[in-house]
Amino acid sequence: MEMPPYLVPHSSEPIQILYSDADLLLVRKPDLLLSVPGRHPLNRDCLITRLQADYPSARTVHRLDLDTSGIMIIALTAQSQSVLGRLFQERRVCKEYEAVVYGQVTADSGEIALPIARDWENRPRQKICRETGRHALTHYQVTERRDDRSRLLLEPITGRSHQLRIHTASLGHPILGCDMYAHPQALAMAPRLLLHASRIAFPHPVTEEWMDISCPSPF
């Protein structure tokens, strides 16, 4: 029996423009808004199609998960898209995320270096796999501890799908509100995924001026 299509939740929260010039936009994506259109016609609403109403040449360079809020770079020319894509490939784009995770993380800082592979039997989930996984590296720093949770500053050095979710979960500290990798208690502790892209820094694709933009977490 064919399963009915998954229809994503609809976010009415507006997209915030953090910076704009002739070559690019830096925007804040709300949670529960796709970065690009989904395959089903009812999942066409997304960040890029909304932006193209006012910026017809807008094109994506990278993505954030549906449940993740925060900063995204949007190219406005083919040249900018090409250069920005190369910067991401060369890992010259610095990204920081804020997350609230389950329990108290003991170490003040550290790194998680665990390879990630697709979990084909449980798509779209990923899994840690030392045999077939691709190299994945995340740096973390604890910025706050409470009785049942910790706030982390996360810096993904690589950009694997679900990297931050699965890496924090592998430590025994899943991100609160995560419906893929959190246990039921951690899932129930937040009304949304508590993961936010809070800062991005990179050389401008045309002027090469160093861009460094922050966006406060809503949680």
Please give the positions annotated as active site. 65
The answer to whether the beta carbons of residues 116 and 163 sit under 8 Å apart is: yes
- Report the alpha-carbon angle 207-30-217, nearest 5: 80
C-alpha torsion sign, points 18, 21, 22, 26: negative
Peptide bond into 124 cis (omega under 30): yes
Residue with tokens 């920081």: 96
- Given its phi and psi angles, is residue 80 left (phi above 0), alpha (psi -120 to 50 degrees) or beta? alpha
Amino acid identity of residue 79, one-letter, is Q
Where b means 16+ CB within 10 Å and e means fewer, 41-64 reads: eebeebbbebbeeebeebbbbbbb
